[in-house]
Amino acid sequence: MIDKKMQNAINDQINAEMFSAYLYLSMSAYFENTSLRGFANWMRVQAQEEMVHAMKFFDYVIERGGRAVLKAIEAPADEWASPVAAFEAAYEHEQKVTARINKLVDIAVELRDHATNAFLQWFVTEQVEEEASASEIVDKLKLIGEARGGLFMMDRELAARVFTPPAASEA
């Protein structure tokens, strides 16, 4: 049975992951409205990944004999000054998610909850990838600057991203 403190913290994380999905879906809509469909695609795929993360936490709480409790999801921003500003916001958001995951690990260690600590290690590794991906796009957008041709090339590159559900062993 999962400790109530851990259960509550994971339930908060479920909400945070759902918010992340909302945020990325909102960013996708922003990019759709600016005719950057490749950027919109990248954000839509990111939203799908965040939903998978939420469900991993949801299923874990239940598997450990706890109760998954869903809370209201805060409305995300819906406008950014530029593509680079949107991706900077995405990068900053991923840094906040990393901090949240690290706090969950701290709670698991404090409670000597080795099962949850082991479960959380997948997310620790995932956050390294999430931050690196967003940071790389920010860096590329800054290199592009005002070069519209570069922006459209980047849009084409981001259009190639596809959602790949995790393998059964990862789900």
pLDDT tens for 54-70 read 999 999 999 999 999 99
Percent of the residues in the chain that have a pLDDT greater than 90, as a whole number: 94
Residue 170 pLDDT level (bands cut at 50, 70, 90): low
Instruction: Answer yes or no: is 169 within a domain.
Output: no
Instruction: Give residue for tokens 């997310």.
Output: 123
Instruction: Answer yes or no: is 167 within a domain.
Output: no
| SS3 label, residue 77 | coil
What is d(CA 43, CA 21) in angstroms, rounded to the nearest whole number?
9
pTM of the model: 0.94
**Count of domains forming the chain:** 1
CB atoms within 10 A of CB 146: 6
Instruction: Answer yes or no: is 97 within a domain.
Output: yes
Q: Report the CATH number at residue 75.
A: 1.20.1260.10
Instruction: Answer yes or no: is 165 within a domain.
Output: no
Instruction: Answer yes or no: is 29 within a domain.
Output: yes
Question: In this predicted model, what pLDDT tens digit does every residue of 73-93 receive, in sequence order?
Answer: 999 999 999 999 999 999 999
Domain that holds residue 132: 4-159
Length of the chain: 171
Instruction: Give residue for tokens 């931050």.
Output: 131
Residues 6 or more apart in contact with residue 112 via CB below 8 angstroms: none
Residues 6 or more apart in contact with residue 116 via CB below 8 angstroms: 2, 6, 10, 60, 64, 104, 108
Residues 6 or more apart in contact with residue 97 via CB below 8 angstroms: 16, 20, 127, 130
Instruction: Answer yes or no: is 170 within a domain.
Output: no
Give the type of residue at 23: L
Q: Which of 86-90, 120-124, 163-167 has the lowest mean pLDDT?
A: 163-167
**113 within 8 A of 6, measured Cβ to Cβ:** yes
Instruction: Answer yes or no: is 168 within a domain.
Output: no
How many CA within 13 A on the CB side of residue 25? Answer: 13
